[in-house]
Amino acid sequence: MKMRKLGNSLEVSALGLGCMGMTGVYGPATDKSLMIKLIRDAHDRGVTLFDTAEAYGPFTNEALVGEALQPIRDKVVIATKFGFDIDLETGARTGGTNSRPEHIKAVADAALKRLKTNHIDLFYQHRVDQSVPIEDVAGAVKELIAAGKVKHFGLSEAGVQTIRRAHAVLPLTAVQSEYSLFWRGPEAELLPVLEELGIGFVPFSPLGAGFLTGKIDEHTKFAKDDFRNLVPRFSQEARKANMAIVAVVKGVADRKGATPAQVALAWLLAQKPWIVPIPGTTKLSRLEENLGAVELDLTSEDLAEIRAETSKIKVEGERLPEAVLKLTGL
């Protein structure tokens, strides 16, 4: 597995593993024992970055990741997140944010227990809390680092001014936001600022929540509890229009003897050497397919073709439900 560096010092595999979907979100949770095996299979194949959050469940995803990685804890990087208003005893949540310093510290202690570890490698603020100055958030994480409970600080779905202010208090190792051929928003402001400041970028939904695999079209039926049922970009009309993007990716994939998913991930990897996508899956075959992207060489001609063809296409539909978009800083 090729390695990449986030920030100045955190070396990770070129592709990480997003674990969110293992405990729900895209439909019912998958069998726990199978997911533990899949996480360990990912490490056997070179993956060292594993992404989770207290909000996934809540709590069940962190517990799964902690159990799976406990035997190999010293060989992996665990990223988790704080920032939602979740009762640490019951898991009840209001839907709002909570990044008060005392809450951040309590979340860290609870996460350490669920993850079966004595330190969190990368601790992200999951969503910006407009009621708490980002300087106070960074200060709380700085204290956690001083205590040895956290190694690196990150932000998720934050705007560039928030990133600058946080970075001035405590250098950020990584920022996580959605980025793919299905959502190119970070290119305008975010990527230039990250490059300027030396911060790594960890794109989630690098396959457009599955759309860029070519396995979804306007006739696809999602499970009743699949979050994509609520996403405007996944309405039947939007999917039909957005197949034009998939056609571009498929065209390159056919020529390269690759799959659309591999081309979409290789395109991301080709954008910057400090980009580390975290595609998620519950299937070993998909994991192995995704990892094949690391060895797929897209030439300058391939990249130019993708850029030229996709620039002609307007993606239809918002990338998230309106209520969720309001929590982002983008």
pLDDT of residue 327 exceeding 90, the answer is no
Q: State how far the Cα of 269 lies from the Cα of 272, in Å rounded to an integer.
A: 6
CA atoms within 13 A on the CB side of 263: 28
Confirm if 37 and 283 have CB atoms less than 8 A apart: no
Percent of the chain with pLDDT over 90: 95
pLDDT tens per residue across span 182-205: 999 999 999 999 999 999 999 999
Tell me the mean pLDDT in the region 68-79: 98
Instruction: Determine the pLDDT at residue 329.
Output: 63
Active-site hit among 26, 56, 124, 179: 56
| pLDDT tens digit sequence for 129-149 | 999 999 999 999 999 999 999
**Rounded distance between C-alpha atoms, residue 258 and residue 250, angstroms:** 9
- Between CA 64 and CA 114 the distance in angstroms is 8
3-state helix, strand, coil in the chain (%, to 5): 45, 15, 35
The overall average pLDDT reported for the chain is 97
Across 14-41, average pLDDT = 96
Is pLDDT at 297 greater than 70 in this prediction?
yes
Structural contact between residues 4 and 12, judged by C-beta atoms closer than 8 angstroms: yes
Domains of the chain: 3-325 (3.20.20.100)
Helices marked H in the chain: 32-44, 60-69, 101-114, 134-146, 160-169, 190-197, 236-256, 260-271, 284-291, 300-310, 322-325
Confidence check: pLDDT of 330 > 70: no
What integer pLDDT is reported at residue 206 of this predicted model? 98
Q: Note if 26 is an active site residue.
A: no
Residue 40: CB atoms within 10 Å: 15
**Measuring CA to CA, how many Å separate 166 from each of 121, 152, 181, 214?**
18, 13, 28, 38
Please tell me the predicted confidence (pLDDT) of residue 323.
83
Instruction: With CA atoms as reference, report the closest residue to 204 among 137, 157, 267.
Output: 157
pLDDT above 90 for 298: yes
Half-sphere exposure of 329 (CA within 13 A, CB side): 23
CA dist., res. 38 & res. 36, Å (int): 5
